[in-house]
Amino acid sequence: MAFQCQRDCYMKEFVTSVVSCCPADLKQEVNGKKETLKGFNVKLQDTILFPEGGGQPDDHGLIGDVPVLRVTRQGAEAIHFVRSSLEEGQEVQLKVDWERRFDHMQQHSGQHLITALADTMFGYKTTSWELGRQRSSIELDTPCVKPAELQALEEAVNEKIRAHVPVTVQLLSIDDPAVEKVRSRGLPDDHAGPIRIIDIEGVDANMCCGTHVSNLSHLQVIKLLGTEKGKKSKTNLIFLTGNRVLKYAEKSYSTERSLVSLLKTGADDHVEAVDKLQKSVKLLQKVRLNVKYFAVFSHVVLQGDNEFMNIIANEIGTEETLVFLTVGEEKGPGLFLLAGPSGVVTEMGPRVLEMLQGKGAGKNGRFQGKANSLARRGDVEAFLQEHCKHHASEEE
């Protein structure tokens, strides 16, 4: 049979009745820990909550005011797992988590469109796909997809979206000759009822049980993020559809603004700034291999702030290293940070502050502040180096 969610994918509420309610367990993973929930498996006369299948996760929603935590399919029936018992024969109202459902509709219909055009344009067959929580992927039967092909494919799928192409559902009997003409990766062993065909007008006809948009314009936009090497000479194509593209753009912009504030450079210079930081850390790591006690790591940053200096110190590690960082021009005012073993920093911090004619304070192995002049930066380095040599000779 076809469920109500398959007959009308846009239905958000639905009245039905409880057929059965039996005690059951649900095994799930929460924050990396496996746990078993006690509850009930509920069968309904019909449902608008899609049971997982066809690469699409299940719907979430409510039966009355009882949350549905999982929906699975057993033959022609949908099984709803809930924590509270429901009375058999009881009339109930279903509500679907629409944000989750519509997201799945966008990703699934987007996959059909990408799959169809990747095959038509380049002969790349889809062997599997995954609807992930944040991004989705299509496994293509090809060792690689060229950048120019990826760009052409993205342009083609978005052109179909702008063309407002209708998407319709057909139900055919399993012995209908038309079934042989549609794209399919086979039916599940326990399939029951008519064959469901998703038809993107003039583009694709595919056997599928999932929920889909009724017009490609409802996809809004598709972004092909790139490709990753798959298994056995295959390629995984990573994509986002619809609202996920908007969320991705918003998150990317927020990250960009944070990096601008942190690195004190424009977005176009972020890669270069991080590259310089990584090279500095690698240089220190080489130096530390050749010291018996702890080394002095000194570095000048022309642009940055206290948070940036602390990030550098954290990356370097200060248990066996005395880190001295400054931000600012060579002889002008600026910021400084002295980080290292707590006792050493407490002892040397005030002297460093005095040499830089600054103001600041320290605790927990960090001493930082503002310097009126960085002209004596070299003297501070020499002072720190001498202290470390003296400390090392005492240890020996």
pLDDT digits (tens, 9 = 90+) for 306-321: 777 787 777 777 777 7
Contact status, residue 136 vs residue 107, Cβ threshold 8 Å: yes
Residue 291 has a pLDDT of: 41
β-pairing, 366-371 with 33-44?
unpaired
Fold classified for 102-241: Threonyl-tRNA Synthetase; Chain A, domain 2 (3.30.980)
Is this model's pTM higher than 0.85 or not?
no
Q: Per 3-state DSSP, what percentage of the chain is helix, strand, and coil (rounded to 5)?
A: 35, 35, 30
pLDDT digits (tens, 9 = 90+) for 10-57: 999 999 999 999 999 999 887 788 899 999 999 999 999 999 888 899
Contact status, residue 72 vs residue 82, Cβ threshold 8 Å: no
Residue % of the chain over a pLDDT of 70:
87
Which of 63-72, 78-87, 112-121, 191-200 shows the lowest per-residue confidence on average (mean pLDDT)? 191-200
Residue 261 pLDDT grade (very low, low, confident, very high; cuts 50, 70, 90): confident
How is residue 316 written in tokens?
A: 């370097």
Residue 154 has a pLDDT of: 98
CATH class of 300-394: alpha beta
CA angle at 292 for the pair 298 and 319, rounded to the nearest 5°: 55
How is residue 20 written in tokens?
A: 């059965």
Q: How many residues does the chain have?
A: 396
pLDDT digits (tens, 9 = 90+) for 132-189: 999 999 999 999 999 999 999 999 999 999 999 999 998 887 777 776 677 666 665 5
Residue 139 has a pLDDT of: 97
d(CA 304, CA 317): 19
CATH class of 4-96: mainly beta
Domain limits, the chain: 4-96, 102-241, 300-394
Residue 290 pLDDT grade (very low, low, confident, very high; cuts 50, 70, 90): very low
Neighbouring CB atoms inside 10 A of 306's CB total 17
β-pairing, 295-301 with 321-327?
parallel
274 φ/ψ angles, rounded to the nearest 5 degrees = -70, -35
